[in-house]
Amino acid sequence: MPELIPRFHDWFKKQLPYFWHNWICATGSIIIVATIIILFFFLLLFVYNVILGRHISSYVQLVSFLIMPSFLVLGIITVFIGNIIHRRRLRKGQEIKSAPELGGQILLKKALLIGFVSFISILALGTFSYEAYHFTDSNNFCSTVCHTVMAPEATSYSNSPHSNVNCVKCHIGPGASWFVRAKLSGLRQVYGVMTDSYSKPIESPVQNLRPARDTCEVCHKPDKFHGSRMVVRKHFEYNQENTETITANIIYIGGPSESGQASSGVHWHVDPGNEVRYRFTDVKRQNIVEVVQKTPEGEIRYIKDGFEGSDDDGEWRVMDCLDCHNRPTHIYELPEKAVDKSMASGKLDSSIPWLAKESLRTLLETVPSENTEELIKDKLIAIYTDDHPDDLQAMVDDLDAIAIELTDILERNVFPAMNIEWGTYKSNLSHFDGDDELGTGGCFRCHDDEHESEDGHYIDQDCDKCHNLMAYQEENWEGFGGIDIESFLRN
């Protein structure tokens, strides 16, 4: 029995990594110990804050969950390299360039130290990587670490129907491979922010966004759409009375029929039995030159009238949710719609003469800055003094409320630091894009009566194909005999 102890001693000694046998090992050891000491203090800081129920700043989180553990890994790798070199030298019987002697070489002491260090490292690394995973997936990380850059996205998001859906649900989705891809591209983005070398505004559409099948469709089943939706909006004319009108539109949401066979309506494109793909020649995917519709009988190809390019021009894409819902959460309004919305909800008082027209003009001519409210007040007073002196007093009586509301509209839609103006990010969910009376974008990129198949069919623009426009900016619309229009009102 007693002779076993020295044998074990020798064996154990051989298994131990070298922590201090050359300069590389020593550097690694110092990094490890220093990191652990710092991490330990961060841990105390956390416990302290958690006990007191205090908010932990995201910069502290960034340092402790990402930067410090990276140092720990760096230290471990350095020790490892040092060991390889040392063992090779030992084997070849070369001269050993050792680090300075630190006290005696008492085995037990070293073993204890090593055991302790490894235990703490594993514990710390485990806890911290877990926390790091959650932290880099949190909205806080996305919007605080890249504060100004993501301010527009975070603002538009917080006003949207998806404001309770975390950024990563749409931008990364489930699964390890997309997680890794996202973190790698995230590193590039953080570098971009640090060196101020990113594009302003951030480019859209997002290249390599995860397909909707793995994000949107986790929550929304494409074969569960049904029926129609009634959309009622108020519009206020640009005259002295801000005359109120009603638009009522029944949109054929669509989806598969009861029998599960043919689908119809707007969501026909994403029915699991259908596929539409298209070829576009511009970054914004607005110029669509070819559309291919897969049917059980074969493919129908539609070519845009007058397209002269070759088969290699442009890029292909299979249509999914994002080709129409490209703004499901980063929703920017057009100024006309924003004014209508504020008047309909009473935040702008429609009894103040000319207010719809002049609010719109003020929004278009003001750039938000530190003192937006003051700028807006000066502008409105100048406009009313010049153009409607008789109505100036009525406007001034409510000036504070008007300025607050117009500031709010401006600050949620226009971001000069990121070069985001009115209409920078266009929605494809309609055909109005502000260019033409009915517009040319959105649905009308394909439904324009200009994409023709070999047998002479067009992707048509029949006004009853997608919706039934019951009323368009009508004064005193009767509605459906007695049903209160207000109950359908949707901004």
Number of H helices, E strands in the chain: 15, 10
Name the residue nearer to ligand HEC (CB basis): 89 or 169. 169
Q: With beta carbons less than 8 A apart as the criterion, state whether 356 and 236 touch.
A: yes
Q: With beta carbons less than 8 A apart as the criterion, state whether 77 and 83 touch.
A: no
Is 489 near ligand HEC (CB under 6 A)?
no
Is 200 near ligand HEC (CB under 6 A)?
no
Cα 418 to Cα 225: distance, rounded to the nearest angstrom: 37
Q: How far is the CB of 487 from ligand HEC (least distance, A)?
A: 16
Is 472 near ligand HEC (CB under 6 A)?
yes
Cα 146 to Cα 190: distance, rounded to the nearest angstrom: 8
Q: How far is the CB of 349 from ligand HEC (least distance, A)?
A: 23
Which of 25, 36, 132, 154 touches ligand HEC by CB under 6 A?
154
Q: How far is the CB of 484 from ligand HEC (least distance, A)?
A: 18
DSSP string, 6-65: HHHHHHHHHHSPPSSSSHHHHHHHHHHHHHHHHHHHHHHHHHHHHHTTPPPPHHHHHIII
From the list 8-16, 128-136, 319-327, 343-351, the region that binds ligand HEC by CB under 6 A is 319-327
Q: With beta carbons less than 8 A apart as the criterion, state whether 359 and 406 touch.
A: yes
Tokens of 34: 């220093």
In the region spanning residues 275 to 294, those forming contacts with ligand HEC, defined by CB under 6 A, are: 276, 278, 288, 291, 293
Give the gyration radius of the chain's Cα atoms.
32
Cα 60 to Cα 45: distance, rounded to the nearest angstrom: 10
Is 341 near ligand HEC (CB under 6 A)?
no
**Mask of contacts with ligand HEC, 210-249, x by CB under 6 A?**
--x--xxxxxx-x------x-x-x-------------x-x
Which of 223, 423, 467, 477 touches ligand HEC by CB under 6 A?
467
Is 338 near ligand HEC (CB under 6 A)?
no
Q: How far is the CB of 393 from ligand HEC (least distance, A)?
A: 34
Cα 301 to Cα 279: distance, rounded to the nearest angstrom: 11
Q: How far is the CB of 341 from ligand HEC (least distance, A)?
A: 12
Query: Of 120, 142, 125, 145, which Cα lies nearest the Cα of 37?
Result: 120
Is 204 near ligand HEC (CB under 6 A)?
yes
Cα 2 to Cα 264: distance, rounded to the nearest angstrom: 86
Name the residue nearer to ligand HEC (CB basis): 242 or 263. 263
Q: How far is the CB of 234 from ligand HEC (least distance, A)?
A: 10
Determine whether 343 is exposed, middle or buried from the number of CB atoms within 10 Å of its CB (0-12, 13-18, 19+): buried
Q: How far is the CB of 151 from ligand HEC (least distance, A)?
A: 9
In the region spanning residues 158 to 187, those forming contacts with ligand HEC, defined by CB under 6 A, are: 161-162, 165, 167, 169-171
Number of residues that bind ligand HEC (CB under 6 A): 78
Q: How far is the CB of 397 from ligand HEC (least distance, A)?
A: 31
Is 150 near ligand HEC (CB under 6 A)?
yes
Name the residue nearer to ligand HEC (CB basis): 269 or 379. 269
β-bridge partners, 318:
277
Which of 143, 342, 372, 413 touches ligand HEC by CB under 6 A?
143
